[in-house]
Chain A
């Protein structure tokens, strides 16, 4: 007998504008350790994301213990990344990084409510890697493609998550799809 199938969550590819619009999270089971999913406005659940961009700034925002904040900019907006004592490798990475530098990050979306009642979302990193511009460019194109695909699917064959997104969010999937196409067109022009 071997072990049963792994059930690791996939790392969604999502631009910062869409990621930062995640305000709704949910669990699919009552178990305490059940995965928490962020609902992507393009109608998909995300327990994990893979993002890339330029790390522009790092800052220790912690009190007694270190708590590192990183800002990672993609063609659409800025991701906020936080790593503390429970993410020692990622925290060390942010402490030692010399911005600006290209990074890719595997991590989990975490939402929190601000004092004025607004929902904010950030990334809790599992790993942060310094990458070259080819890897970063690949991510941008891949993410644009997958954003458009998600939006198309939400439109043509809506899943329960697409329905959920329709109920929870004011911005439609097509808006993210259009913004993804703009990113591709800009890239194409800059390479000409």
Chain B
């Protein structure tokens, strides 16, 4: 009964500071409730927590922050909070270290968030596109970005209900500090639904093809504490650089080099400040709207500092 063990661990963790409980004992009480009395596992866990709470003479509030606040992932804005989430596994990524069991992206209606589980926690594996109730996960913050960490007390319950993970409409301000490969005038694979950007005339899926020209900028916005990769599509790139797709093709033809287009674009956009908005997709923010930013008022900055001082 893997799930009951996880639930028992979660209950144990909640009363860690208050009662001298034993995970096996909790599990056997859960098991009695579930198999003998046919109480659904979640209900069994709840009633057990209620029992222990009375035993420890605690109020509901005393169990906070571990008393399983159900949270929308887009609202997570504090480090080290113990929470519950109901999420779909959007993507699993390749862990970069043996210590990490799984890493990827979870989503609920409100948005998406990175998650990590560690090999030592010995948890059941999450599957892509499945929906789970994850109880007792802990939030983590790194340079302004939030993620959640699963741990040995996390209980994982797969649920039938489907979730359409939201695309947070993000707003990001920063200096455009880099433009990545595959920017400028590019060629895309014309095969149905492929649209991959060709490298030296080849699609990684369909081999050598006659590509179709397109414009895009893949760049990095940096506000001094966080970085965000952003993609400007053809329309946004035309507006950003003042170079249309037709003009870009002319430039490439004149110079016999598609790279000449990016060379023409870069000096006007790198090292400037922009505010962009758009949905986040994996690690990229897809720009729907942008604005180049001008001076900040020293006056307002001083006011802001006096308020915080």
Which of A1, A2, A106, A129 touches B267 (beta carbons < 8 Å)? A129
B37 at interface (Cβ–Cβ under 8 A)? no
Q: Which of A9, A104, A105, A184 contacts B272 (CB 8 A)?
A: A104
Does A137 lie at the interface of the complex (its beta carbon under 8 Å from any beta carbon of B)? yes
Does B276 lie at the interface of the complex (its beta carbon under 8 Å from any beta carbon of A)?
no
Q: Is B106 an interface residue (CB 8 A)?
A: no
Q: With A106-B177, A126-B178, A188-B302 in contact, do A4 and B272 touch (Cβ < 8 Å)?
A: no
Contacting residues, chain A, for B91 (C-beta < 8 A): 1-2
Q: Which of A50, A129, A133 contacts B224 (CB 8 A)?
A: A50
By the criterion CB–CB under 8 Å, are B304 and A145 in contact?
Answer: yes
- Give the distance in Å from the alpha carbon of A127 to the alpha carbon of B92 in the complex: 34
A25-75 residues with Cβ-Cβ distance < 8 A to B are 48, 50, 52
Q: Are B226 and A191 in contact (CB under 8 A)?
A: no
Say whether, besides A106-B271, A135-B273, A185-B302, A5 and B93 are in contact (CB < 8 Å).
Answer: yes
Q: Any chain B CB within 8 A of the CB of A98? A: no
* Contact for B222 among A50, A103, A128, A141, CB less than 8 A: A50
- The segment from A10-18, A79-87, A110-118 that touches chain B is A10-18
Q: A6-B283, A127-B271, A138-B273 are in contact. Are A144 and B295 (CB under 8 A)?
A: no
Residues of A with C-beta under 8 A to B229: 6
Complex interface: chain A residues within 8 A of B17 (CB): none
B220 within 8 A of A: yes
> Is A12 a contact partner of B178 (Cβ separation < 8 A)?
no
The reply to whether A3 and B93 form a contact with Cβ atoms under 8 Å apart is yes
B296 x A13 contact (CB < 8 A) = no
Contact: B295 with A127, CB < 8 Å? no
B92 touches A181 (CB 8 A): no
A130, B301: Cβ atoms under 8 Å?
Answer: no
B38 interface residue, CB < 8 Å from A? no
Question: Across the two chains, which residue of chain A brings its CB closest to B179?
Answer: A127
Say if the beta carbon of B293 comes within 8 Å of chain A. Answer: yes
A141 to B225, CA, bound (A): 15
By beta carbon, the residue of chain A nearest B273 is A138
Whether A148 is near chain B, meaning CB under 8 Å from some CB there, is yes
10 contacts between A and B (CB under 8 A): A3-B94, A10-B143, A50-B271, A103-B271, A127-B271, A134-B295, A141-B298, A152-B308, A187-B298, A188-B302
| Top-7 shortest CB links A-B | A129-B271, A104-B271, A187-B298, A137-B295, A141-B296, A134-B294, A188-B298
